[in-house]
Amino acid sequence: MAGIVTLTTDFGLRDAYVAEMKGVMLAIAGAAGRPLHLVDVTHEVARHDVAEAALAVEAVARAFPPGTVHLAVVDPGVGTDRRALALEAVGQVFVGPDNGLFTPFLEGVAWRAFELTAPDYRLPAVSRTFHGRDVFAPAAAHVALGLEPRRLGDPVNDPVRLAWPEVREVAGTVAGAVVHTDRFGNLITSIHAATLGDAAEGLVIRVGGRTVPLVGTYAELEPGEIGALVGSGGRLEIAVREGSAATRLRADRGTAVVVSRTTWTTKGRSRRPV
């Protein structure tokens, strides 16, 4: 099977940056006489938004086969002493700057990380402003073509982690926060489906001071109606059917989200959060 490299950046498509990275990887594959599949995830991450890129990589990784290399470059610290990283986790490899991009793969799973320092696996001349082309792309191509990540450099035991909003569980209540707003205005939260448990009945979701119902899909809402659901990425999200939850609730990254469970009282006439 041909090697697979996905690409996630904030470069956009107006300039030549993405094509330069692809050219470097295809040249390495051609010299090795091996095919390489390059898959664009997105190049429209908001400029310098590491958290948005991390969520994009988290979402896409589950769809790709073992051995896939995910190349992610949102790198406001390029040219500084921030490390370049290759991370092995969940049967895949993640290549990019050590700035928190790979935080989703550092929690609850086994991982190994290596700093990209070996000169054989980068371009001979390395620009101080474009490590995506000169450092990350060559490393990603070599790994996708079979190189063991440990050959890229020394082990890293302390990769940078983003300061995600904590998910707190207290007395039947789960508290988290909005971590991303997608292009539809849906509010993606820090609360994973596993945290909610199997029984959705009786859950009360509050966001931005407003209570919203939990539904199974967008179609269960009337046009313009607001609700909460578990999205395809496995996170609780708040949505307005054919509208924007971010606009309706005036919410953004960091807005508090609280999930509680209700139970009927012994008299069966009222409900209370527990």
Q: How far apart are CA 223 and CA 226, in angstroms?
A: 9
Enumerate domains of the chain plus CATH numbers: 3-152 (3.40.50.10790), 168-273 (2.40.30.90)
Q: Where are the alpha helices (DSSP H) in the chain?
A: 17-32, 50-61, 131, 137-144, 193-196, 245-249
Residue keyed to tokens 């948005």:
52
Per-residue pLDDT of the chain (274 residues), as tens digits, is 569 999 999 999 999 999 999 999 999 999 999 999 999 999 999 999 999 999 999 999 999 999 999 999 999 999 999 999 999 999 999 999 999 999 999 988 899 999 999 999 999 999 999 999 999 999 999 999 999 999 999 999 999 999 887 788 777 788 889 998 998 999 999 898 888 766 556 688 999 888 998 898 999 999 999 999 998 888 999 999 999 999 999 998 889 999 987 543 333 333 333 2
Residue keyed to tokens 């799973």:
109
Read off the pTM. Answer: 0.85
Q: How buried is 128 (Cβ within 10 angstroms: 0-12 exposed, 13-18 middle, 19+ buried)?
A: exposed
Which residues on neighbouring strands pair with residue 261, listed in sequence order? 203
